[in-house]
Amino acid sequence: MTPELRTQVNALQDKEAAEVKALLTPDQQTKFQAAYDAAKAQRGAGGQLASLAQRLSLTDDENTKIAPILLSMGEAMQTLRADTTLDRQTRMQKMTAIWDDAKTKIRPLLTPDQQKTLDDIRSIRGGGGRGGRRGAAAGA
């Protein structure tokens, strides 16, 4: 999808969300916005963010706090993917930096068990690429 088309789709989705929110109570609006932000972030990162939320077993409150971080991360990743001027290695380094920044913001919002799970997810990724996955599989 071209960036222009993505912008148009996002605008339509945001308009639709605003129309739905207008029909909701303030409490429902808060819950809807958290779910909407989380879904938008998940779409932007190719479903990896949905997996993260599921693996961390986020509560509604945690999801509300973490969704904007995930949304920002997803948007940064999308922008990075669209940048055709970068070589693969530079792109991977920048993606790792984006992930590490998001993790730094997310970690204090989690319980100790969730923090360990987040750390395990990072070690499985192995900094991205196949080597980390093979290494994690071999150790399992």
pLDDT of residue 43: 63
Q: How many Å apart are CA 120 and CA 118, to the nearest integer?
A: 5
Mean pLDDT of 74-80: 82
Model pTM? 0.56
pLDDT tens digits along 29-72: 988 887 887 677 656 544 566 677 788 888 878 877 887 888 78
Write the pLDDT tens digit of every residue in 83-98.
889 898 999 999 999 9
The C-alpha atoms of residue 1 and residue 6 are separated, in whole angstroms, by 6
pLDDT of res. 25: 94
Half-sphere exposure of 112 (CA within 13 A, CB side): 0
Closest alpha carbon to 99 in 45, 58, 140: 45
Structure tokens at 20: 């739905």
Q: Closest Cα to residue 65, out of 53, 48, 76, 79?
A: 53
Closest CA to 132 of 84, 98, 92: 92
- In-domain check, residue 94: yes
Split into its structural domains, the chain has a count of: 1
Give a yes or no: residue 115 inside a domain: yes
Q: What is the pLDDT of residue 64?
A: 78
Measured CA to CA, the distance from residue 53 to residue 106 in angstroms comes to 11
Confirm whether 64 is domain-assigned: yes
pLDDT at 4 over 60: yes
Domain span at 82 = 48-122
Residue 76 lies in a domain: yes
Would you say residue 57 lies in a domain?
yes
Q: Is residue 90 part of a domain?
A: yes
- 131, part of any domain: no
Q: What are the C-alpha distances in Å from 49 to residues 1, 23, 75?
A: 20, 28, 12
Residue 136 lies in a domain: no
